[in-house]
Amino acid sequence: MRSAGLSIEVLKEYIDLFAKGKKTEKERKELLKRERENLRKKIEKMQEAYDHLNYKIDVFYKDK
Protein backbone atom coordinates (compact mmCIF):
# COMPACT_ATOMS: atom_id res chain seq x y z
CA MET A 1 0.00 0.00 0.00
CA ARG A 2 2.98 2.28 0.39
CA SER A 3 3.36 2.21 -3.39
CA ALA A 4 -0.17 3.62 -3.61
CA GLY A 5 1.05 6.77 -1.90
CA LEU A 6 -0.27 6.11 1.59
CA SER A 7 1.65 7.93 4.28
CA ILE A 8 3.40 6.11 7.09
CA GLU A 9 0.78 7.50 9.49
CA VAL A 10 -2.10 6.10 7.45
CA LEU A 11 -0.35 2.75 7.10
CA LYS A 12 0.16 2.63 10.85
CA GLU A 13 -3.50 3.44 11.43
CA TYR A 14 -4.52 0.70 8.99
CA ILE A 15 -2.21 -1.85 10.64
CA ASP A 16 -3.53 -0.92 14.09
CA LEU A 17 -7.09 -1.43 12.88
CA PHE A 18 -6.16 -4.68 11.14
CA ALA A 19 -4.63 -5.99 14.36
CA LYS A 20 -7.99 -5.47 16.09
CA GLY A 21 -9.59 -7.98 13.78
CA LYS A 22 -12.70 -8.38 11.71
CA LYS A 23 -14.69 -5.88 13.76
CA THR A 24 -12.69 -3.04 12.14
CA GLU A 25 -13.39 -3.98 8.52
CA LYS A 26 -15.75 -1.05 8.01
CA GLU A 27 -13.25 1.43 9.46
CA ARG A 28 -10.44 0.03 7.31
CA LYS A 29 -12.57 0.25 4.20
CA GLU A 30 -13.49 3.87 5.00
CA LEU A 31 -9.84 4.72 5.61
CA LEU A 32 -8.89 3.28 2.21
CA LYS A 33 -11.78 5.04 0.48
CA ARG A 34 -10.72 8.35 2.06
CA GLU A 35 -7.15 7.83 0.89
CA ARG A 36 -8.37 6.90 -2.59
CA GLU A 37 -10.24 10.20 -2.77
CA ASN A 38 -7.15 12.09 -1.61
CA LEU A 39 -5.13 10.38 -4.33
CA ARG A 40 -7.77 11.20 -6.96
CA LYS A 41 -7.53 14.89 -6.01
CA LYS A 42 -3.72 14.81 -6.24
CA ILE A 43 -3.91 13.19 -9.67
CA GLU A 44 -6.40 15.81 -10.81
CA LYS A 45 -4.10 18.64 -9.71
CA MET A 46 -1.12 16.99 -11.37
CA GLN A 47 -3.11 16.58 -14.59
CA GLU A 48 -4.02 20.27 -14.51
CA ALA A 49 -0.35 21.21 -14.06
CA TYR A 50 0.64 18.85 -16.89
CA ASP A 51 -1.99 20.33 -19.19
CA HIS A 52 -0.88 23.87 -18.29
CA LEU A 53 2.75 23.08 -19.14
CA ASN A 54 1.72 21.55 -22.44
CA TYR A 55 -0.28 24.67 -23.23
CA LYS A 56 2.71 26.91 -22.41
CA ILE A 57 4.99 24.82 -24.62
CA ASP A 58 2.49 24.90 -27.48
CA VAL A 59 1.89 28.66 -27.23
CA PHE A 60 5.43 29.89 -26.63
CA TYR A 61 7.39 27.38 -28.71
CA LYS A 62 5.00 26.42 -31.48
CA ASP A 63 7.37 27.52 -34.26
CA LYS A 64 10.59 26.23 -32.71
Residue 16, pLDDT score = 97
In this structure, what is the dihedral angle of CA atoms 47, 51, 52, 58, given to the nearest 10 degrees?
160
Q: Kindly report, residue by residue over 35-54, the tens digit of the pLDDT.
A: 999 999 999 999 999 999 99
Please name each of the domains of the chain with its CATH number: 2-60 (1.10.1660.10)
Spatial distance between the Cα atoms of 37 and 10, rounded to a whole number of angstroms:
14
Spatial distance between the Cα atoms of 43 and 62, rounded to a whole number of angstroms:
27
Confidence (pTM)? 0.78
Q: Once rounded to an integer, what is the mean pLDDT over residues 5-30?
A: 95
Spatial distance between the Cα atoms of 17 and 54, rounded to a whole number of angstroms:
43
Residue 3, pLDDT score = 76
DSSP conformational letter for 61: S
The residue type found at 10 is V
Q: Once rounded to an integer, what is the mean pLDDT over residues 11-18?
A: 96
Is the CB of residue 19 less than 8 Å from the CB of residue 28?
no
